[in-house]
Amino acid sequence: MKRYITTPIYYVNDVPHIGHAYTTIIADFLKRFYTLRGDESFFLTGTDEHGQKIEQSAQARGKTPMQYATEVSEKFRTLWDEFDIDYDHFIRTTDDYHIKAVQLAFSKMLEKGDIYKGEYEGQYCISCESFFTTTQLKEGRFCPDCGKPTSEVKEESYFFALSKYQDKLLKWYESNPILPSYRQNEVINFVKNGLNDLSITRTTFEWGIEIPSQKEGEKKHIIYVWLDALLNYVSALGYGGSEERMHLWEGAIHLVGKDILRFHAIYWPAFLLSLDIPLPKKIYAHGWWLNEGKKMSKSIGNVIDPKKVSDEFGNDVFRFFLLREVPFGQDGDFSLNALVDRINSELSNDLGNLLNRLIGMSEKYFSLSLSSNKAQEFFPTECKELENTITQALTLVENAHFHRYLEEVWKIFSLCNTMIARYEPWSLMKNGESEKTQALLVFLCNALYKGTLLFAPIMPTTAQKIADSLGIEIAPSEFKKMIDHHSFKEHFRIEKIAPLFPKIEKKEEKVQESKEEIKKEENKTPQIKIDDFFLSDLRVGEVLECKNVEGSEKLLLFQVDLGEQKPRQIISGIAQYYNPQDLIGTQVCVVANLKPAKLMGIVSEGMILSVKDENGLKLIIPQEKRKNGSKIG
Ligand code: MSP
């Protein structure tokens, strides 16, 4: 079977964090799992490098978008290498073959009659690179997805006829391609509510792929970053070029976070339908990692650094915890205490101790050399239980129940531990039942072998250590024998190894800044990212009217021309410093996207900037007059 596993391609305006690591580690697990099962597997990851957000972030750092994208893309690649992520290809959307593929796809959609020219008027969230209608926004023009302020966009644009594909999409969902199913239901409801055609080009910035058939005298159209990005999944296989890996497409499994499911489950299949490319096999949508129930954010200082966790506890442990702790699809809280609990119970007690005891007993009773063909004969019920557990575990992977998969695999180790307690090999030996003891130890080796094959895609290093100790091999041929055919091995030559997971004492959470550090930070002016600064819409405007607010000694009521259809009404507490008449005709600086507020019953739609010291207060005024509404930045 063919398996083509993809992660989202990551924006290069952020350094890799636990959310990115989570998606990538699940994809890595699937790649290794299917490879071990003998499937032809291919794993794609990479970086999403175009768009307004990246252009702004690069500008703010005084870099070209390409320099900036290259630097951050490198950080992602390095981290995945440090995490031993077994990707087959790392794509950058600035790669030539990708650019060609995107332009080809655009031309094909145009030829098909799915693209037409019009004018887009609506709201745009730069952070999500996503369009919204005013009715979709949260009150006060905030993005319904990330909560940041949106900007108004009115520009010439090419549109993709998304609405045309509504029925075909609904038909596709009947084959249950999206897991978990509650996420699929959300998508179906969204589509049933009606789809609007999608604006797929922008003209107000530069950093992106140009449309292929730019007409003479036409404004420069840049392809919408999501159309560009989604096409990575086929351009990486050679779409529009060598096509050398396109045969893998039939096994496509996309792993995505719930926040970007809409793009993958609605836009992407519609684009594919337009291009006459078959639809992906599965889309798995995972939830979000939170820290104590809160979204992680740099400004609060509660971001979990995956590298720190992995450096402290080991890569395998980190991977195991991410997959085991939270039911796939749901949000999860990251807690170091929970991580330590899992190390001490499941890894150290259930697995590590089992191997130790097995090594100990093999050495004591059989000089580390075991041989028996009677394991199944002595323990038929336990053999059946082992088989059933394995069969059950395998179906769980197909249904994206990764945490339950691990739970099931651990039942194998519980079975082994229960058998030791029940049959007491030391008593058997005392009673002269050496044959049964040896059969028991061989059973335990087989069970451990099978369990290790099953968790090897999650903890490859640990699996290799156990393989070295039991003299076994982690390979597709062995998987076939031991897992698919339920074979039993009769001889084991055991090597002694150091304990796998020494117990750990609980300590304070260390992977984030300490509470005191956060407090200290809170008392200082917090640092913000340039993207946060760009969230403020600062503009120059001319004071058309200014008067005192009745009943207030402090407040002045302004009407300011910001180049919009009507003047803004703004209240400012500067009456002690200025005579209102003197300000008429002056240009002032205004925060134009403040949520409107009421002062003394009057609505104020912005804030006028001023500076104050011991000599009093002064308005901030442009050195020379500028057009009303000009952006400050
Ligand atoms: N560039 C787009 C994807 C384009 S795919 C054609 C993008 N990039 S992203 O870098 O912002 O996000 C990538 C992934 O990280 C998403 O799947 C998102 O859900 C995931 N996560 C970001 N923060 C997360 C957590 N705190 N927890 C889990 N995953 C989260 O979107």
Amino acid at 378: F
Ligand 1 touching residue 234 (CB < 6 A): no
Ligand 1 touching residue 352 (CB < 6 A): no
Ligand 1 touching residue 267 (CB < 6 A): no
Q: Whose C-alpha lies nearest to ligand 1, atom 29?
A: 19
Q: Quote the tokens at residue 534.
A: 């760009």
Ligand 1 touching residue 229 (CB < 6 A): yes
Residue 257 Cα to ligand 1 middle (Å): 6
Residue 369 Cα to ligand 1 middle (Å): 50
Cα distance from N-terminal residue to C-terminal residue, the chain: 54
Topology of domain 336-493, CATH: Isoleucyl-tRNA Synthetase; Domain 1 (1.10.730)
Ligand 1 touching residue 9 (CB < 6 A): yes
Residue 16 Cα to ligand 1 middle (Å): 10
Q: What is the Cα–Cα distance from 341 to 348, expressed in whole angstroms? A: 10
Residue 496 Cα to ligand 1 middle (Å): 43
Q: What is the Cα–Cα distance from 622 to 542, expressed in whole angstroms? A: 11
Q: What is the Cα–Cα distance from 169 to 187, expressed in whole angstroms? A: 10
Strands 568-572 and 556-561: antiparallel
Q: pLDDT at position 526, please? A: 64
Mean pLDDT by 10 residues, the chain (633 residues): 97 88 97 98 98 92 96 95 96 98 98 95 88 84 85 91 98 98 96 96 94 84 97 97 96 97 98 98 96 75 88 96 95 91 95 97 98 97 98 96 98 98 97 98 98 98 98 98 97 96 75 48 61 85 91 88 91 90 91 86 90 86 89 88
Taking the CA atoms of 460, 462, 463 and 464 in sequence, report the sign of the dihedral they define: positive
Q: pLDDT at position 616, please? A: 82
Amino acid at 3: R
Q: pLDDT at position 272, please? A: 98
Tell me if 153 sits within 8 A of 135, measured CB to CB: no
Q: Whose C-alpha lies nearest to ligand 1, atom 8?
A: 10
Ligand 1 touching residue 262 (CB < 6 A): no
The domain covering 515-632 belongs, at the CATH homologous superfamily level, to Nucleic acid-binding proteins (2.40.50.140)
Q: How many H helices and E strands in the chain?
A: 24, 27
| Residue spans of alpha helices (H) in 112-180 | 166-173
Ligand 1 touching residue 48 (CB < 6 A): yes
Atom of ligand 1 nearest to the CA of 290: 26
- What number of CA atoms fall less than 13 Å from residue 87's CA on the CB side? 25
Q: What is the Cα–Cα distance from 87 to 432, expressed in whole angstroms? A: 53
Residue 15 Cα to ligand 1 middle (Å): 12
- Considering the chain, tell me which residue range(s) the CATH 1.10.730.10 domain(s) occupy: 336-493
- Considering the chain, tell me which residue range(s) the CATH 3.40.50.620 domain(s) occupy: 2-286
Q: pLDDT at position 569, please? A: 92
Residue 518 Cα to ligand 1 middle (Å): 25
Atom of ligand 1 nearest to the CA of 10: 10
Residue 126 Cα to ligand 1 middle (Å): 15
- Considering the chain, tell me which residue range(s) the CATH 2.40.50.140 domain(s) occupy: 515-632
Ligand 1 touching residue 428 (CB < 6 A): no
pTM, 2 dp: 0.80
Atom of ligand 1 nearest to the CA of 20: 15
Ligand 1 touching residue 11 (CB < 6 A): yes
| Residue spans of alpha helices (H) in 8-133 | 18-36, 52-60, 65-82, 96-111
Topology of domain 2-286, CATH: Rossmann fold (3.40.50)
Ligand 1 touching residue 23 (CB < 6 A): yes
Q: What is the Cα–Cα distance from 179 to 181, expressed in whole angstroms? A: 5
Residue 73 Cα to ligand 1 middle (Å): 15
Q: What is the Cα–Cα distance from 115 to 118, expressed in whole angstroms? A: 10
Q: Whose C-alpha lies nearest to ligand 1, atom 23?
A: 19
Given ligand 1 and candidates 5, 12, 20, which is best to mutate, with the most ligand atoms within 8 Å of its CB? 20
